[in-house]
């Protein structure tokens, strides 16, 4: 195990908000009717086969984060970020003391090619190729003539081959070369590609998932086109054996078995990471050079201190596999926020933290254009002191209030003022689909919500927020 493998991973009280995507729908599979805000729990439909990895130093109590706060708890500070919804920030610098804004890059062998530099001056301007290899047909649309049962496990149960034929229609026709051309021509430099574990390792027991090589062949087809359009890609393991969060995009609604039945699913999770790495290494060299990172588990969602320990241990062991092969590990923050990962990895490790932020699921009365800007200012404070690059692997324009063009433009520009203006970049969910311009990047461009020529202009962002970002990030600020 590498140097990072010897570090302790520590449990925390999770203050978990309504992260994740689902077309504005509440998390399926969760039951929070008996809990307080932020401590929703699963209703398991199978017995627990074994304990998760123990956590030392953690608190087994439930978190009490506010509903919809994304799990972020602002670290203690002498000059806390104002959150007055009327006056907002006054533009004053937080302190007269000089700040350290450096991010130390890892020592990576770039002799063969120049891989994506998460520590450099160029941010990722990316879109997710959602609903392609991982169907989210309940809200993003599906091929005509298919009756959908709500998740791929149910869809394919007892009919794996027929299900594979249905999904093949999606695999082969959803993303074509003209899509990559459009993405490249409209200001993006990266795509994030959700992939399922069953495209890389065999299924076990009664798992009905299709393991057809076609899905991997289609992924190869798209990846081999990346050099032609000057694009990079993050390969995101979006569906983990057993399900990492019990949501539709994990392949199975209900219990997050990966976190509750580790004796059954742990090694298969690591086998998936190994298989993805080996797959990437089999690609042509110029394609390998376009792989910006490998994400070991999308939106893994621990519900208690032990599961947080399991999540962090999985990140550490995945890092050993990915880093040894010369690639960057993209690790989900698990809706805990960067501060809860301050004990993980070290400055200069080949890791970027993936944070997802959505306001679509918050209580409408608690969300406004002003409150979104305030949330961004709060997060900027936490992010500016974090020791690894932060990649916003998913965000959207969706909010639980009016969806007019001007308001959507404000939401997009305000978010990007931080995501692209100071962090390692972002990836919009999603490139296309049945949803409107709040979730559909291509439609948002066509509707005038997103001006892809102004990724660094941010005219719609409030001046106080931009100044706050400059003050916190110093030379790392791009605005």
CA–CA dist 317, 305 (Å, integer): 19
* Boundaries of domain holding 72: 3-476
Our count of domains for the chain comes to 1
The more confidently predicted of residues 199 and 48 is 199
pLDDT above 70 as % of the chain: 77
* 156-197 pLDDT per residue, tens: 999 999 999 999 999 999 999 999 999 999 999 999 999 999
* 436-478 pLDDT per residue, tens: 999 999 999 999 999 887 667 788 899 999 999 999 999 999 9
CA–CA dist 325, 345 (Å, integer): 17
DSSP state, residue 393 = E
Question: Is 216's pLDDT higher than 90?
Answer: yes
pLDDT above 90 as % of the chain: 72
Question: Is 11's pLDDT higher than 70?
Answer: no
Question: Is 4's pLDDT higher than 80?
Answer: no
Q: Are 28 and 253 in contact (CB under 8 A)?
A: yes
Question: Is 88's pLDDT higher than 70?
Answer: no
CATH number at residue 412: 3.20.20.80
User: Average of pLDDT values for 291-303?
Assistant: 98
CA–CA dist 95, 384 (Å, integer): 14
* 265-278 pLDDT per residue, tens: 999 999 999 999 99
CA–CA dist 113, 121 (Å, integer): 18
């Amino acid at each position: 195990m590498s140097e990072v493998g010897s570090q302790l991973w520590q449990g925390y009280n999770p203050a978990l908000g309504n992260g994740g995507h689902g077309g504005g729908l509440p998390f399926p599979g969760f039951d929070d009717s008996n809990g307080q805000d932020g401590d929703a729990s699963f209703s398991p439909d199978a017995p627990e086969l074994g304990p998760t990895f123990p956590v030392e130093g953690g608190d087994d109590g439930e978190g009490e984060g506010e509903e919809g706060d994304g799990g972020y708890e602002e670290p203690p500070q002498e000059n806390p970020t104002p959150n007055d919804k009327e006056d907002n920030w006054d533009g004053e610098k937080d302190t007269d003391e000089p700040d350290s804004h450096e991010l130390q890059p890892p020592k990576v062998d770039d002799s063969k090619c120049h891989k994506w530099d998460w520590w450099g001056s160029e941010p990722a301007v990316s879109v997710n190729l959602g609903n392609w290899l991982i169907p989210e047909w309940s809200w993003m649309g599906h091929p005509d003539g298919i009756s959908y049962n709500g998740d791929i496990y149910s869809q394919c149960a007892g009919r794996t081959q027929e299900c594979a034929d249905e999904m093949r229609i999606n695999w082969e026709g959803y993303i074509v070369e003209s899509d990559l051309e459009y993405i490249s021509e409209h200001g993006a430099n990266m795509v994030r590609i959700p992939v399922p574990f069953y495209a890389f390792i065999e299924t076990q027991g009664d798992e009905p998932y299709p393991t057809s090589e076609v899905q991997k062949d289609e992924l190869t087809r798209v990846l081999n086109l990346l050099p032609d359009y000057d694009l990079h890609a993050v390969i995101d393991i979006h569906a983990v054996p057993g399900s990492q969060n019990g949501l539709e995009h994990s392949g199975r609604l209900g219990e997050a078995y990966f976190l509750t039945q580790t004796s059954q699913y742990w090694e298969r999770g690591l086998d998936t990471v190994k298989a993805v790495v080996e797959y990437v290494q089999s690609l042509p060299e110029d394609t390998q050079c376009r792989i910006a990172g490998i994400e070991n588990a999308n939106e893994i969602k621990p519900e208690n201190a032990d599961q947080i320990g399991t999540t962090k241990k999985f990140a550490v062991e995945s890092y050993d596999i990915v880093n040894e092969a010369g690639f960057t590990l993209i690790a989900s923050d698990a809706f805990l926020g960067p501060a809860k990962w301050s004990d993980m990895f070290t400055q200069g490790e080949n890791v970027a933290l993936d944070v997802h932020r959505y306001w679509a699921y918050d209580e409408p009365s608690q969300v406004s254009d002003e409150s979104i800007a305030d949330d961004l200012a709060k997060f900027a404070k936490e992010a500016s002191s974090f020791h690894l690059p932060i990649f916003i692997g998913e965000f959207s324009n969706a909010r639980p209030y009016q969806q007019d063009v001007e308001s959507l433009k404000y939401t997009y520009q305000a978010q990007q003022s931080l995501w692209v203006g100071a962090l390692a970049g972002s990836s919009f969910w999603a490139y296309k689909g049945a949803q409107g311009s709040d979730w559909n990047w291509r439609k948002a461009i066509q509707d005038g919500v997103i001006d892809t020529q102004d990724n660094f202009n941010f005219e719609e962002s409030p001046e106080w927020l931009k100044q706050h970002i400059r003050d916190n990030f110093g030379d790392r600020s791009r605005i």
